[in-house]
Chain A
Amino acid sequence: MSEQAKVVHLFQRQEHLAPVNVPLQTAYDIEQFLYAEAELLDAWQFHDWLALMAPDVHYWAPVRVNRLAREMDREMYPPGTAAHFDENLQMLGERVNRLHTNMAWSETPPSRTRHLISNVRAHTTEPDNEFDVQSSFHVYRTSSERHQDSVIGRRFDRLRRADSVYGFQIVSRTVVFDMATLLVKNLSLFY
């Protein structure tokens, strides 16, 4: 089974622990972009959200598993194996279209969500118009009469400056949920 392979993931790289090195204005712009993105998701503006994606976007959320401490570096399933999302732009588009069919029962009536984004830290990259950005999220959801759940985790984004109202586009996103067994009934929305 390929999960045995030792792979250094994006989120295990040491550079994420380095001090933030972007100018204050850039840090502010990036934060505001992430907040605006969260607003689009919470407002069910999924087509506008999709427009934030680069044409070659990769949206990936690997599965994780409980391991002995000495095998901690194998906690995440490597690329090409178990994932909750492993999407390109077209695949994300299908998910968005589904939510607008009026027959996506998992979101009928639609959930109310709040994407709370925090712990935003950005680093410069080569090329200099792209940035590696980490953030934490807490997505609180209520639906139907009294369902509520929370999904919490981290994101590792590559953002690229873009000539648009939002200022950036998302080149890649890795979502790491803080759960091995998902303690929610589904992941019907986006993180």
Chain B
Amino acid sequence: MDVSQWIDPDRGLIRGEIFHSQEVYAQELEQVFARSWIFLAHDAMLPQPGDFIQNYIGEDPVLVVRQPDGTVKAFLNQCRHRGMRLCRADTGNARNFMCSFHGWNYGLDGRVINIPHGEEIYNAEDREQFRATEVRLANYKGFIFGTWDTTAPEFEEYLGDFAWYFDAYIDRYEGGLEIVGLHKWVLPANWKFNAEQPTSDMYHGEVSHASAFQVMMPTPVDANSPPPDWAMSQLGQLASPAGFQFVSPYGHGTGWFAGGMPVMNETIYRWQEATKDQVAARLGPQRVTAHGHANIFPNFMMLSNYTFRVTHPRGPNEMEIWAWSMAPVAAPAEVKEAIRLDLLRTFSPAGMFEQDDAVNWEEEQRILRGYMARKVPLIYKQMLGRARYDADGLPGRTVPHVYAEEGARGMYRHYIDIMSGAPWPDLARLKQRREDDERSATAAPAKPDSFAA
């Protein structure tokens, strides 16, 4: 199926068919999820040998297991014999995994270590081949990603310029991150709605989250006084949304306010202010603020307040969100607690931000059952034609506004590429050629009226 018939990234037009079609969905499982790097675990989720978590690559369950030697392996959570799920717990500690159907027993590395009556009924040379289907892994600063595709580019190449931005989330402080919580829930909407939002949509905040901003910001001492200065400064950032958006040739994106993302908790605000210089010394001045919301294509997203999540596809009309809250190891206990509470009150299923996003996506999804609703192109034109390379000290392709849809256009440009089924080496060459062309085209300063035109 040629999805480019519904997506025109150059003009910023997309037809809703890509969020609705069962056929497109089946192709996504094959071409997007089975060929991309998917977040599977963080080192902190698996502290001890034998610790495992179950995660998914698309609809395929994967067991991620800490090995006795301290390394991590991952394999399809499926018995080779009749395809039964090997381990049915979300997390835990195990010495081995026994299939509950016929008792095939797998070691922590996914190798078959015992088959009932195996010596009598199987050839010895066959038994050697019976191992759970292994996932190719990469560990980037504690974040473990996996892919089935042995021809996919190395993870760091796949991240590309986004690595600089990723570090602004995960490497702000010495010692990395620790896990403070997890939420899992389902939404009746296509996974791409959730992916494109952190990639490129800060624009929805003012309206979608108006109620949460109102009640979570500190209230004035009395009716005649304004809220405290620090809270006013945070709201002020929303009122004049200067900022940037980055887009990667591999579909990743991020956007942020020039003054930093608004914080609604005084403890967190004070600590972030107090450690600004420390972050600047570690990452440079730009990355004090260059961490808004972001998505690593296809489905690993992070928000500035330390929520990290995967959005598992569950058919064209449903997604399952797994959201981990993390906190910097270096943060004082009261800041970690403030981060934990802030997260569950904002971006969990009961969170006052998240729940309003959910109904927007639900309604979008529902309306796509219509014929005209899928036929009329949706408008992704913000900051069209304004992308530059390596401008303002920012690596890669950016636009100079936080309200932009360059991230979404980039995400769908890559989506067309990978959905075409072209082999990875061809895709890598295509992206390089495209970037070379764009760099030479944007070398001259953009005309002041280029946006209006």
Interface residues, chain A, with chain B CB atoms under 8 Å away: 1, 3-4, 61, 63, 65-68, 71, 74, 77, 80-87, 91, 94-95, 97-98, 101, 103-106, 144, 147, 180-188
Contacts and interface: CB of A to CB of B under 8 A. Distances in A.
27 contacts: A1-B44, A63-B181, A63-B183, A66-B88, A66-B89, A68-B89, A71-B93, A80-B337, A82-B182, A82-B344, A83-B181, A84-B183, A84-B348, A91-B345, A94-B345, A98-B212, A98-B215, A104-B356, A105-B211, A106-B358, A181-B184, A181-B320, A182-B183, A182-B349, A184-B185, A186-B358, A186-B359
A186 B349 contact: yes
B215 A94 contact: yes
A184 B285 CA distance: 42
Contacts of B216: 94
Given A1-B45, A94-B215, A65 B349 contact: no
A84 B349 contact: yes
Contact of A86 (B344, B354, B363): B344
Contacts of B182: 63, 65, 77, 82
B215 A101 contact: yes
Interface in B41-55: 44-45, 47
Given A97-B215, A101-B214, A187 B92 contact: no
B360 interface: yes
A81 B180 CA distance: 6
Interface in B72-107: 88-94
Nearest to A61: B350
Contacts of B88: 66
B325 interface: yes
Contacts of B210: 101, 103
Contacts of A3: 91
A182 B185 contact: yes
Interface of B: 44-45, 47, 88-94, 178-188, 208, 210-212, 214-216, 320, 325, 337, 340-341, 344-345, 348-350, 352, 354-356, 358-360, 362-363
A85 B350 contact: yes
A54 to B, nearest CB: 20
A184 B89 contact: no
A149 B358 CA distance: 14
A84 B347 CA distance: 10
B90 A67 contact: yes
Contacts of A68: 89, 92, 94
A66 B90 contact: yes
A185 B337 CA distance: 26
